[in-house]
Amino acid sequence: MITIPSHDGSTATERAAALDHESRVDADDHRALRLWLRLLTCSNLIETRVRARLRADFDCTLPRFDLVAQLDRHPEGLKMGELSRRMMVTGGNITGITDQLEAEGWVERTGVDNDRRAWRVKLTSRGKKAFKEMAVAHERWILDVFAETSERDQDQLFKLLGKLKDVLHTAAQAAEVQA
Protein backbone atom coordinates (compact mmCIF):
# COMPACT_ATOMS: atom_id res chain seq x y z
CA MET A 1 0.00 0.00 0.00
CA ILE A 2 1.35 3.38 -0.97
CA THR A 3 1.06 6.19 1.56
CA ILE A 4 1.35 9.55 -0.10
CA PRO A 5 1.53 12.61 2.15
CA SER A 6 -0.19 15.76 0.98
CA HIS A 7 0.74 19.40 1.38
CA ASP A 8 -1.17 19.46 4.70
CA GLY A 9 0.64 16.38 6.06
CA SER A 10 -2.35 14.04 5.91
CA THR A 11 -2.00 10.67 4.20
CA ALA A 12 -4.15 9.41 1.34
CA THR A 13 -5.79 6.99 3.76
CA GLU A 14 -6.75 9.82 6.11
CA ARG A 15 -8.11 11.90 3.25
CA ALA A 16 -10.06 8.90 1.93
CA ALA A 17 -11.66 8.36 5.34
CA ALA A 18 -12.85 11.96 5.27
CA LEU A 19 -14.60 11.18 1.95
CA ASP A 20 -16.67 8.38 3.49
CA HIS A 21 -20.11 9.89 2.94
CA GLU A 22 -21.72 6.64 3.99
CA SER A 23 -20.66 7.21 7.59
CA ARG A 24 -23.18 10.08 7.73
CA VAL A 25 -26.24 7.81 7.69
CA ASP A 26 -27.82 5.42 10.18
CA ALA A 27 -29.15 1.92 9.54
CA ASP A 28 -32.72 3.24 9.77
CA ASP A 29 -32.21 5.84 7.01
CA HIS A 30 -33.82 5.10 3.66
CA ARG A 31 -32.15 2.30 1.73
CA ALA A 32 -31.91 4.48 -1.39
CA LEU A 33 -30.04 7.17 0.57
CA ARG A 34 -27.65 4.60 2.04
CA LEU A 35 -27.07 3.12 -1.42
CA TRP A 36 -26.45 6.53 -2.98
CA LEU A 37 -23.93 7.41 -0.29
CA ARG A 38 -22.18 4.03 -0.66
CA LEU A 39 -21.84 4.62 -4.42
CA LEU A 40 -20.54 8.13 -3.82
CA THR A 41 -18.07 6.90 -1.20
CA CYS A 42 -16.75 4.14 -3.45
CA SER A 43 -16.39 6.55 -6.35
CA ASN A 44 -14.55 9.08 -4.18
CA LEU A 45 -12.24 6.45 -2.71
CA ILE A 46 -11.28 5.15 -6.15
CA GLU A 47 -10.84 8.65 -7.54
CA THR A 48 -8.66 9.67 -4.59
CA ARG A 49 -6.48 6.62 -5.16
CA VAL A 50 -6.14 7.31 -8.89
CA ARG A 51 -5.40 11.01 -8.32
CA ALA A 52 -2.66 10.13 -5.82
CA ARG A 53 -1.05 7.60 -8.15
CA LEU A 54 -1.17 9.95 -11.15
CA ARG A 55 0.48 12.66 -9.06
CA ALA A 56 3.12 10.35 -7.52
CA ASP A 57 3.98 8.28 -10.59
CA PHE A 58 3.55 10.81 -13.41
CA ASP A 59 3.30 14.28 -11.82
CA CYS A 60 -0.07 14.55 -13.57
CA THR A 61 -3.50 15.69 -12.44
CA LEU A 62 -6.70 13.77 -13.12
CA PRO A 63 -8.13 16.56 -15.34
CA ARG A 64 -4.97 16.49 -17.49
CA PHE A 65 -5.20 12.69 -17.72
CA ASP A 66 -8.89 12.92 -18.67
CA LEU A 67 -8.24 15.50 -21.38
CA VAL A 68 -5.39 13.47 -22.88
CA ALA A 69 -7.57 10.32 -22.69
CA GLN A 70 -10.29 12.07 -24.67
CA LEU A 71 -7.78 13.09 -27.32
CA ASP A 72 -6.31 9.60 -27.45
CA ARG A 73 -9.77 8.28 -28.42
CA HIS A 74 -9.96 10.85 -31.23
CA PRO A 75 -6.70 10.91 -33.19
CA GLU A 76 -8.14 13.53 -35.55
CA GLY A 77 -8.44 15.85 -32.54
CA LEU A 78 -11.39 17.56 -30.91
CA LYS A 79 -12.61 21.13 -30.85
CA MET A 80 -12.10 22.88 -27.53
CA GLY A 81 -15.88 23.17 -27.07
CA GLU A 82 -16.31 19.44 -27.64
CA LEU A 83 -13.64 18.70 -25.04
CA SER A 84 -15.48 20.96 -22.63
CA ARG A 85 -18.77 19.10 -23.18
CA ARG A 86 -17.18 15.66 -22.96
CA MET A 87 -15.35 16.49 -19.74
CA MET A 88 -18.27 18.49 -18.33
CA VAL A 89 -16.10 21.47 -17.40
CA THR A 90 -15.96 25.06 -18.54
CA GLY A 91 -14.15 26.21 -21.64
CA GLY A 92 -11.81 28.16 -19.38
CA ASN A 93 -10.73 24.97 -17.64
CA ILE A 94 -10.05 23.31 -21.00
CA THR A 95 -8.06 26.33 -22.18
CA GLY A 96 -5.90 26.32 -19.05
CA ILE A 97 -5.12 22.61 -19.25
CA THR A 98 -4.54 22.81 -23.01
CA ASP A 99 -2.16 25.75 -22.55
CA GLN A 100 -0.08 23.69 -20.10
CA LEU A 101 -0.09 20.57 -22.28
CA GLU A 102 0.81 22.59 -25.37
CA ALA A 103 3.75 24.22 -23.54
CA GLU A 104 4.97 20.73 -22.60
CA GLY A 105 4.66 19.49 -26.18
CA TRP A 106 1.87 16.99 -25.47
CA VAL A 107 -0.80 18.61 -27.66
CA GLU A 108 -1.04 20.96 -30.61
CA ARG A 109 -3.78 23.42 -31.49
CA THR A 110 -4.84 24.19 -35.01
CA GLY A 111 -7.51 26.48 -36.37
CA VAL A 112 -10.79 25.04 -37.61
CA ASP A 113 -11.73 25.66 -41.23
CA ASN A 114 -14.74 27.98 -41.62
CA ASP A 115 -14.70 28.96 -37.92
CA ARG A 116 -12.03 31.48 -36.97
CA ARG A 117 -13.06 31.32 -33.30
CA ALA A 118 -12.64 27.55 -32.86
CA TRP A 119 -9.52 25.50 -32.20
CA ARG A 120 -8.93 21.79 -32.71
CA VAL A 121 -6.63 20.06 -30.23
CA LYS A 122 -4.81 16.81 -30.90
CA LEU A 123 -2.08 14.79 -29.28
CA THR A 124 1.49 15.06 -30.46
CA SER A 125 3.68 11.96 -30.64
CA ARG A 126 5.12 12.97 -27.26
CA GLY A 127 1.61 13.22 -25.80
CA LYS A 128 0.64 9.83 -27.26
CA LYS A 129 3.70 8.19 -25.73
CA ALA A 130 3.11 9.77 -22.31
CA PHE A 131 -0.56 8.81 -22.32
CA LYS A 132 0.20 5.22 -23.31
CA GLU A 133 2.44 4.85 -20.24
CA MET A 134 -0.17 6.41 -17.96
CA ALA A 135 -3.01 4.35 -19.44
CA VAL A 136 -1.18 1.08 -18.79
CA ALA A 137 -0.54 2.11 -15.18
CA HIS A 138 -4.13 3.39 -14.78
CA GLU A 139 -5.53 0.06 -15.94
CA ARG A 140 -3.30 -1.75 -13.45
CA TRP A 141 -4.51 0.52 -10.63
CA ILE A 142 -8.16 -0.15 -11.45
CA LEU A 143 -7.51 -3.89 -11.65
CA ASP A 144 -5.91 -3.63 -8.20
CA VAL A 145 -9.01 -1.84 -6.86
CA PHE A 146 -11.19 -4.80 -7.83
CA ALA A 147 -8.63 -7.56 -7.15
CA GLU A 148 -10.40 -8.71 -3.98
CA THR A 149 -13.81 -8.81 -5.70
CA SER A 150 -14.69 -12.05 -7.47
CA GLU A 151 -15.45 -12.05 -11.19
CA ARG A 152 -18.99 -13.14 -10.38
CA ASP A 153 -19.47 -10.20 -8.00
CA GLN A 154 -17.94 -7.82 -10.54
CA ASP A 155 -20.33 -9.11 -13.22
CA GLN A 156 -23.31 -8.75 -10.90
CA LEU A 157 -22.30 -5.25 -9.84
CA PHE A 158 -21.78 -4.28 -13.50
CA LYS A 159 -25.28 -5.54 -14.43
CA LEU A 160 -26.95 -3.81 -11.48
CA LEU A 161 -25.20 -0.52 -12.15
CA GLY A 162 -26.18 -0.87 -15.81
CA LYS A 163 -29.83 -1.14 -14.79
CA LEU A 164 -29.48 1.95 -12.62
CA LYS A 165 -27.80 3.81 -15.48
CA ASP A 166 -30.68 2.89 -17.82
CA VAL A 167 -33.24 4.14 -15.30
CA LEU A 168 -31.33 7.40 -14.86
CA HIS A 169 -31.02 7.94 -18.64
CA THR A 170 -34.75 7.30 -19.09
CA ALA A 171 -35.59 9.76 -16.32
CA ALA A 172 -33.27 12.38 -17.82
CA GLN A 173 -34.85 11.99 -21.25
CA ALA A 174 -38.34 12.29 -19.76
CA ALA A 175 -37.29 15.46 -17.94
CA GLU A 176 -35.95 16.95 -21.22
CA VAL A 177 -39.24 16.24 -22.96
CA GLN A 178 -41.18 17.98 -20.17
CA ALA A 179 -38.87 21.01 -20.15
Query: For 123-167, how does the pLDDT look when each residue is reduced to its tens digit (9 = 90+)?
Result: 999 999 999 999 999 999 999 999 999 999 999 999 999 999 999
Whether residues 121 and 47 share a domain: the answer is no
Q: pTM for the full model?
A: 0.79
Backbone angles phi, psi at 129, to 5 degrees: -65, -45
Q: What is the mean pLDDT of the chain?
A: 89
Residue 176 within a domain: no
Angle, CA of 135, 141 and 143, to the nearest 5°:
105
| 40 lies in the same domain as 20 | yes
In this structure, is residue 100 part of a structural domain?
yes
pLDDT of res. 169: 93
Q: Does one domain contain both 19 and 82? A: no
Domain shared by 54 and 92, yes or no: no
Residues 52 and 111 reside in one and the same domain: no
Residue 126 · residue 106 · CB < 8 Å: yes
Q: What domain range includes position 89?
A: 61-145
Quote the number of domains for the chain.
2
Residue-wise pLDDT tens digits, 41-83: 999 999 999 999 999 999 999 999 999 999 999 999 999 999 9
pLDDT digits (tens, 9 = 90+) for 155-173: 999 999 999 999 999 999 9
What 8-state DSSP symbol labels residue 128?
A: H
